[in-house]
Structure formats: C-alpha cells, structure tokens
C-alpha cells in the first residue's frame, strides 16, 4: 500500500472554543499515522476565495461541496466584530492509507446528531429545519475525502504558507493588561507511541484562557538544543553543591561507618559541579534530540536531529505565569495534582513539556527554534509536487 500525506484543518470556531487539544488527541490516538507538520494561518481573502472555489468545483457530492465552500467564505475571513483575522490550523499526517484513516476518524460533514463516535459528531454541528433547509453548520475540521482533493487543497495552501502563516494574529481583542507571548514545547516522550498525551496536554493548557498564535511540529537539532538549554549549565553547576552534599554525606557515612561532616563534602561537590553540569547538560540534549553532543562533529550539529517535538506559542494577559502554573513544578513528584507535569511527567528531565520562564526568554527560545518558519511546504512538495 502507498504512503500518503493527509491533512486536518482545524476551523476558527474549534480554535476559538479551545477544542483543539481534544481534536488532536483523537487523530493521534485513533490512527497509526505520523504527525509531521503543523502551521497556523490568518487566511487572506485571496487564499479564502481560491480554497472555496477549489472545494466548490471538486469531486464528490455537489450539495456538500457547496455547503463547505459557503462555510469557508463566511467563516474564514475577518472577524466582523473585532476587525481581526480568524485563525486556521493546518495539521499534516503521513503514512499508509492516510487519507482513508483521517476520513474514518473525522466522519462526514452532515453529522449524526445522536452519536459522538467521530470528531465531527463530537465537535461539529449540522442542524436542519423540517423542510430540509440547513439552519446551522459547523464541521469542526475540514479534510480531504480523496487523494485528489488532498493534492488540490494542499497545493493551494502551500502557495500561501509563507505570506499567511506562521505567528499569527488572534481574532480576540484582549482587555487592558500585561499581554505576553510565551512558548510551550511538548517533549519527545509525548510522541514515542500513538496516544492521547499531546492532545490532552493542549486541552489542559486551554484552562489558561490564552490563545494559540503559533504551532510548529519539528525535530530539534543538536545545535538548537545546545543554544536553547545553554543557560541551564551554570544553574546546574551551582545546584549540585546543595543536592550533591546531602547525598555525599549519606553515601560516605554509610560506606565508612562513621558520620562524615558536611563541610568537606560541600567542598567536594563545589569542585564536581562543572562535571555534573556537563553530564546533565549532555543528557538533556540527548533526550531532546536523540544524540549526545560530545559524539557529534561540530559541522554536523546543525543538521542532526531524531526526536519529535511540538512548539506552541500562547498569547494573552500574564501568559508566562498562567502557563507555568498549569504546567506545574519541574519535578513531577512535587507538582500539584492535575498539573501537566504531575499527570504526564516521569522525572525532572522527562516531564512532558517545557515552558518559558519569562517573556524575554520566550522570545529568545522562539528565535532559536524558528517557531514561525514554514516547514510544511517540504512535506507537501514531497507528496504533491
């Protein structure tokens, strides 16, 4: 069977209702496909018109095509109340029989009201009057039922990936306050096997009342990871003096059979701090990239990457503090019940997600991983050139 590239387009309504996590969880848990790309758009009038025209004149049931095309024209444009652009999220999934697998999880546009099996049955709406007139239609997501439709749609969106996509504007006008942007990065432990984890974490984060304005599925290179986590080296070295002293006192006292005083152990740990920091730093890089930096040539570090990550940029009042509160403390065992790290983390390193600790660091980290860069075009070109 052939490998295919399918897409899921999360509608402005689904994004505004913060249902994105639940939607993503369905596709990651109910298929064996590879989640390979993600990008947010503020669709321009040109993109909206071209996409709607493509749908209206596609294969399939004419009535359904017209329903979807009209929906796009009405709902993808500028928010009439705020004058700001709506957001649309494009997700890419790759694998054997990808088009059919995405279709089965999604369900038809004209959903059954009495069931919640598919994404559209749970998150969409299709309401008719007694005479058959469609009173209300919200598909929750848009997909391609055929390979030809996928090719036509993604070819259109690829042309606008740079101009209309990246870090986007939210259609929401926030009240007066400290408006911040912050970065959340879901770590590789969330992508090792198909599961609900990624979507569930996004769902928990929706409790912050913020808006997602950027998303990128990527593999962090060794060079990026070294720059990203570089500031932790000094902190790790200083921290070892405290955490190492207690452990050294306990271990040496047990080994030699007498109470070893703390001061010489503290001196020992001060001298070992840099050794510990380097070892811990390399372990972090290996976890995030799949490679230990000491074993990689300098010239190769820009290109070497194996592990999957998902970056999300949130915007809103006091975004940094709100996200960190929901994420929980670095050590999952000490995080509060219900927090992301308590529910999904394993230890200090394998703790599900990273969050920026300040707006300034968020800007630095977003620049390092190039969170607004277009990395969906290569996938679309590979399959539908």
Length of the chain: 385
Tokens of 218: 């990527």
Tell me the angle at which helices 45-56 and 147-159 cross, rounded to the nearest 10 degrees.
170
d(C-alpha 22, C-alpha 158), whole Å: 26
Active site residues: 354
d(C-alpha 121, C-alpha 99), whole Å: 19
DSSP string, 267-331: HHHHHHHHHHHHHHHHHHHHHHHSS-GGGS-GGGTTT---SEEEEEEEEEETHHHHHHHHH--SS
**HSE-CB for 381 with a 13 A CA cutoff:** 7
DSSP string, 168-200: ---S--PPSS-EEEEEEEE-GGGSSSS-SHHHH
């Amino acid at each position: 069977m052939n490998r295919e590239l399918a897409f899921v387009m999360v509608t402005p309504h689904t994004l505004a209702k913060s249902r994105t996590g639940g939607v993503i969880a369905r596709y990651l848990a109910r298929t064996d496909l590879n989640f390979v790309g993600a990008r947010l758009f503020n669709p321009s009038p040109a993109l909206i018109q071209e996409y709607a025209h493509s749908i209206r004149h596609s294969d399939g049931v004419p009535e359904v095509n017209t329903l979807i095309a009209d929906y796009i024209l009405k709902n993808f444009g500028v928010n009439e109340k705020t004058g700001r652009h709506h957001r649309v999220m494009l997700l890419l999934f790759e694998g054997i029989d990808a088009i059919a697998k995405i279709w089965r999880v999604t369900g038809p546009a004209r959903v059954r009201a009495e069931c919640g099996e598919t994404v559209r049955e749970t998150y969409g709406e299709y309401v008719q009057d007694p005479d058959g007139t469609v009173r209300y239609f919200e598909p929750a997501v848009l997909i391609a039922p055929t390979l030809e439709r996928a090719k036509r749609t993604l070819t259109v969106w690829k042309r606008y990936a740079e101009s209309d996509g990246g870090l986007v504007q939210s259609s929401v006008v926030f009240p007066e306050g400290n408006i911040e942007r912050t970065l959340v990065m879901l770590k590789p432990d969330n992508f090792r096997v198909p599961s609900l984890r990624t979507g569930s974490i996004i769902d928990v984060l929706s409790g912050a009342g913020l808006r997602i304005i950027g998303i990128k599925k990527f593999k962090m290179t060794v060079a990026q990871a070294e720059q990203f986590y570089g500031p932790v080296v000094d902190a790790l070295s200083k921290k070892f003096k405290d955490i190492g002293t207690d452990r050294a006192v306990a271990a040496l006292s047990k080994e030699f059979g007498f109470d070893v005083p703390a001061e010489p152990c503290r001196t020992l740990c001060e001298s070992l701090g840099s050794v510990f920091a380097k070892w811990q730093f390399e372990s972090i890089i290996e976890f995030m990239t799949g490679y230990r930096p000491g074993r990689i040539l300098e010239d190769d570090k820009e290109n070497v990457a194996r592990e999957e990550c998902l970056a999300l940029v949130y915007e809103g009042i006091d975004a940094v503090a709100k996200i960190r509160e929901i994420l929980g403390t670095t050590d999952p065992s000490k995080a509060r019940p219900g927090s992301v790290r308590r529910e999904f983390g394993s230890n200090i390193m394998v703790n599900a997600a990273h969050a920026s600790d300040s707006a300034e660091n968020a800007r630095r980290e977003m620049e390092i991983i190039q969170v607004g860069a277009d990395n969906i075009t290569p996938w679309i070109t590979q399959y539908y050139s």
